[in-house]
Structure 1
């Protein structure tokens, strides 16, 4: 049974703590896999609207993630929500007095998930706990009659809202099947009384945006392959259609609403002729739907991804991701504060967030680097002091981590390809290398910062190469568009060209290279072994697609959670058409080409995966094993599309470590030396 606890926890912000991130001396002891792949010890820190209180998730003594709140004035801390059989999931401040949160269960896999996340509210001191939405369990009761609760498919709205009362907007999502829903109702909910009203939308609404006062102002609907933006007039509350754009193709004409200013200005993410092929921040005229030609923020070589930072109703700056996460401050005072903090934390990138209605001098600082996992600080701008709140991965030693750099190489057709390169600490040349291919594939792969997978591999002595091959998002429309219908073709060539670049640079030992990845990355790993057998000595594929046709047709035993819209409009354009591209699908199918793979393989799949059902893995395993006797198979029956459970992440990466060591690592090198001496 779920229950709240009001006992004090160990979370504190003490003035005696050092303002510098730890820099441990290098040691011979290898960092355990668990230190990389356990759930974060401290995460998600958020200031209350006034800035007086800090809420964060922290692992409790029972291993569950609890919600804790610190009074930054009195430096007192309290655990306000902790459960025996669940973890606190998402949370947000409703006001300075009250928080909203849902739950998850990080100790079971996807197969065992039967219930929704629930919805709860609690005061910052742990009082007035109230369940708001069902956990989809008819036997669970806590103080309220179950019939009064909202349905299990009620979710938090990922927006701040007004943050000035006990009321909040939440979403009621009409779910048809995994990945498929009709519309999203917006409810205005009183978190004490459970009274709620439904906002009347312009149709089958799929998304909502609140204005600067926390009221619904934008509704997004879908018409065929078009996303349609509707605006709600402040005077009479009537909806008016403003603009539309293709959902999946991007480029000029596509827009994404970001936020409203206090004056009613709508800021959007889009691309115009002045943006040189990247998405930037513009304003939209809500009378005409016309987007400003001149951008407010444009990043050189990167699509804008991020958010606008408001405080006291003023636009202070913009948070963005270029090579890493950063901030462009429009406010001179905040720019000066950023410089003060950077001087105190010179070895990290420091993300500074002010409260939305500052009544205190406190700011939240998230400090990180390629070698340092995220740590949270509180900065007192009056006293100019910086105090540590918590570390996400406190056992990681930065001195044992590798440096991560963004570099570029030319593909065989001349296209400029970004690539992330992580090298082991103290090593530089002629290294065994793992090519880690990101999933998606129409997504951004990485950004500068600490990442457990690449750093784990680097800590074991491997260079890690992560190409942002064509089709990857974040590097402009041309780069994204060039990857359409290029599975196993030019996208694959980009990966091979990156390996050849690393060999030419003297980074990689050409006889010790393995290709690995998950989802699309698993597909690319297998196609790398098919297309370029001379480059790769082994391959690792977890939850990877092994046949493109299977994504369209599925299997009688398994249903994919791809949305009907993506299958109907997105996949034929970006991946290919099963009829007109049938021959291409066959030539670029690892399953169809399995007989050509002779290198050692490690395959791992989740038995409850609804994105890439396990049939992809079992059919490929059986086909490749007919001639290849060096195939290792792992099945986590309770897992879905990736490893949710720390025990499985630790187990998987420990197996990967042994596999790599055997085929391209120290054991392989020792075996080769022994053979040569004989």
Structure 2
């Protein structure tokens, strides 16, 4: 689970602690390429008096600015803004200050980029009916905000539905920009139906679609050069469990590497540093957690980087690998390209020691978007031109949230009962001493995901009401290496669950938390963990809030099996079984099978349009608890999906959950 009084700038301006004329001028000396920063006004932070916490709706709102992109020439910024319950796309000219706007009614914005220097490309999603069930479909649109024109990708291609599946890039072919996207074609009928995976490029003017590649094999993804030429593609045979890497030659596709992969297949990330090799992330074997460059002849070269905690960064106009980023922000990034290598020092000179991430590039990598957060800042976007000099504040994510009510989110690690160190984050309330506090344990979803130090609206909302908030990265989480993830296999509802209560015991022992005032609240897997905390690991929590949580493992897996075409050996089914363990013991870890053990109130919240965890998982639990005379509430979120994408229901969730927690687990 990551706004504006006017469209052009945030409500609050950064103090010189974060972005100042002194810091920006200090950046000049760090640049090998000449940089001149002139005429930058002094900045001051507006600090409104806020002796009491803001309304919960301030935290529950979607970020005012949800997506930002910088045009290829660096002169314009596009913003996806949540405004008056809808999405508005703003095209903002950095040189003139002129704007144009276009509403995107009813769409959920998933990503944003420029298609060329005057049109933007937006990825959206919608929940659609698929027989008796629902699916989340992803759509792609080229939008000219000034002209008011909108074109949907694949809307004119025969044998294709107008949806997209990935491989989205901006390329430049013969001087003209194109947007690439993959899809599946289906021709014929019944048993003669032929399904192919295809990659198309769409011109930004005239919107013509050009076939780049198509095959009956199941292609995972492609690597393509900036000029549109194919380099490589990866394939997976789900029947044989074989992953293949094919390289494009004059004679067609040549297989240069393949491996048996039951689950942990390599990932084809992009081009290597030389523009000829390709970059793989290895999920298994002797090279597990490593990035390797593979030559056209299949020779492997390992890169000395921890792949479990880093991700690749590619050049905006060559697509070559230029470095790696990680959750530590730009300060902890590693760059091989000499121009990119200047950025960490330049950005630090501009914004100081606050956490900063690179949020985007122009075609000139010294013209960047920077996102800063921390130290009272819920998140602010800046466009900075280190080549010519100057910057613009684009705006804040939560401009109505006063800085004094943004709590610090600090790393916190502790030992599980078996000695395994569990990393996580602890957010403490800003208005009281860190002693004998009421606690809310807030486990993340996934389970193979992780929480990091970034601003989190739920932990901040809870903290503002006097709670300490623990976000454990329990065993099985991603981000800490494959061995840590593997330690969660077979531990779904077992040690993955007690990792949470072990965190409670560690905080109690440290004197930070009152053991009599502890609750649990989570979404997705975290929602399951909330239910399991009340039923499988009872006696720790005063109440539990489950947002889209699984209650009946067998029923959930039966639903997954149906979606996999009753193919019990599919990749998805193998993934879940690895975490769940022995099928004969699934009832042991199903909260609905332990209703008698529940002694505390439970609040169930679930989106009606959830395509990941069926809504019925909450109704099953609700009916079972009602039948047993247990204290339970069920809140149905209308038109809401699994990811809390709608502002009204997101606010409803925050307000309802906090009211429930205050009633059953009040702070002192």
| Residue number among 91, 109, 118 corresponding to 2:112 in the alignment | 91
Q: How many residues align?
A: 622
Pairing 1:129–2:149 present: yes
Task: Give 3-state SS (helix, strand or coil) of 1:420's partner.
Answer: strand
Q: Distance in 2 between matches of 1:555 and 1:258?
A: 31
8 Å contact kept, 2:82–2:88: yes
Counterpart in the other structure of 2:241:
226
Q: Deviations over 1:126-147 (max 9, x none)?
A: 2383524478xxxxxxxxxx79
Change (3 A) 1:528 1:374: same
8 Å contact kept, 1:19–1:345: no
How far off is 1:151 after superposition?
3.1
Q: Distance in 2 between matches of 1:476 and 1:536?
A: 30
Question: What TM-score results when the alignment is normalised by the length of structure 2?
Answer: 0.83
How is 1:95-106 mapped onto 2 (pairs within 5 angstroms)? 95-104=116-125
Pairing 1:208–2:222 present: yes
Q: Distance in 1 between matches of 2:438 and 2:333?
A: 36
Pairing 1:120–2:141 present: yes
Pairing 1:351–2:357 present: yes
How far off is 1:495 after superposition?
1.3
8 Å contact kept, 1:538–1:601: yes
How far off is 1:394 after superposition?
0.9
How is 1:192-271 mapped onto 2 (pairs within 5 angstroms)? 192-198=205-211, 199-201=213-215, 203-224=217-238, 226=241, 228-246=243-261, 248-249=263-264, 254-261=266-273, 263-270=275-282
Counterpart in the other structure of 1:11:
8
Q: Distance in 2 between matches of 1:282 and 1:230?
A: 13
| Residue number among 63, 70, 81 corresponding to 1:40 in the alignment | 63
Change (3 A) 1:562 1:266: farther
Q: Distance in 1 between matches of 2:400 and 2:564?
A: 38
Change (3 A) 1:651 1:175: farther
Counterpart in the other structure of 1:31:
54
Pairing 1:291–2:300 present: yes
How far off is 1:499 after superposition?
1.0
Task: Give 3-state SS (helix, strand or coil) of 1:470's partner.
Answer: coil
8 Å contact kept, 1:41–1:58: yes
Counterpart in the other structure of 1:620:
621
Counterpart in the other structure of 2:481:
476
Counterpart in the other structure of 2:21:
none
How far off is 1:334 after superposition?
4.4
Change (3 A) 1:19 1:98: farther
How is 1:415-434 mapped onto 2 (pairs within 5 angstroms)? 415-426=420-431, 427-434=433-440
Change (3 A) 1:26 1:328: farther
Change (3 A) 1:18 1:621: farther
Task: Give 3-state SS (helix, strand or coil) of 1:321's partner.
Answer: coil
Q: Distance in 1 between matches of 2:154 and 2:342?
A: 47
Task: Give 3-state SS (helix, strand or coil) of 1:587's partner.
Answer: helix
Counterpart in the other structure of 1:492:
497
Q: Distance in 2 between matches of 1:54 and 1:499?
A: 45
How far off is 1:543 after superposition?
1.1
Counterpart in the other structure of 1:58:
81
Change (3 A) 1:422 1:561: farther
Task: Give 3-state SS (helix, strand or coil) of 1:653's partner.
Answer: helix
Pairing 1:317–2:323 present: yes
Q: Distance in 2 between matches of 1:59 and 1:264?
A: 42
Change (3 A) 1:112 1:523: closer
Question: What TM-score results when the alignment is normalised by the length of structure 1?
Answer: 0.82
8 Å contact kept, 2:638–2:649: no
8 Å contact kept, 2:121–2:141: yes
Change (3 A) 1:354 1:155: closer
Task: Give 3-state SS (helix, strand or coil) of 1:479's partner.
Answer: helix
Q: Which moved more, 1:11-20 or 1:218-227?
A: 11-20
Unaligned runs of 5+ in 2: 1-5, 14-37, 188-193
Change (3 A) 1:375 1:428: same
8 Å contact kept, 2:197–2:215: no
Task: Give 3-state SS (helix, strand or coil) of 1:70's partner.
Answer: strand
Q: Distance in 2 between matches of 1:16 and 1:465?
A: 45
Q: Deviations over 1:281-303 (max 9, x none)?
A: 33123322x5324x24227xxx1
Pairing 1:538–2:540 present: no
